[in-house]
Amino acid sequence: MKKQKKPSKRFYRKRIELFRLIEKIKLWPARSGILHGIKSIDIMGDQARITTHCNKTFMVNNSRNSRAARWLRNKWFNATCAACGVPDWKLEKYASTQFRRHYGSRLLQETEPEHLMKK
C-alpha cells in the first residue's frame, strides 16, 4: 500500500480581497454550509459572476470581511456539493492552507509579459 503524502502547508494573508482568494482556491461556501467548486469567475469591477461546477451562477461583491471571505478563512462548511464533485485532494490542500495576518502570500497580480503590453 502506498503512503499518501501530506499536502504542504500554504500560507496566505488574512486580509486579502475575496476575488484573489477564490481565484486561487476555486471553492465557494454557500449560506447553507455546502462547499461548491468554482468553474469560472468573470470579474467586472467590484463585482464578479461566479459559475459553480453544478451550473449555479450568481453575482458577488469584492469584500475582505464578507460572509464568504470569513467562511473560507475559517474553513466553515458542513459538506461538499455532490454535483460539483470537489475531489479529496483539493479538500486536503484546502485544509492544510493557513491564513496569517503578517505572513504569507498576498496573491498579487503578476504583470503582463512584455510582448502583450501596449507600446
Residue with cell 455546502: 34
pLDDT of residue 17: 85
- Condensed to tens digits (0 to 9), the pLDDT of residues 13-68 reads 777 888 988 998 999 999 999 999 999 999 999 999 999 999 999 999 998 889 99
What is the H or E stretch that residue 29 is in?
Answer: strand 27-29
Measured CA to CA, the distance from residue 98 to residue 113 in angstroms comes to 30
At 17 the three-state DSSP class reads coil
CA distances from 2 to 5, 8 (A): 9, 18
C-alpha cell at 48: 464578479
Q: Which has the closest alpha carbon to 7: 99, 89, 86?
A: 89
pTM summary value: 0.76
Residue with cell 469591477: 45
Q: What is the mean pLDDT of residues 71-80?
A: 91
pLDDT of residue 117: 47
Residue with cell 461566479: 50
34 Cβ contact list (under 8 Å, min separation 6): 77, 78, 79, 80, 81
Measured CA to CA, the distance from residue 76 to residue 45 in angstroms comes to 27
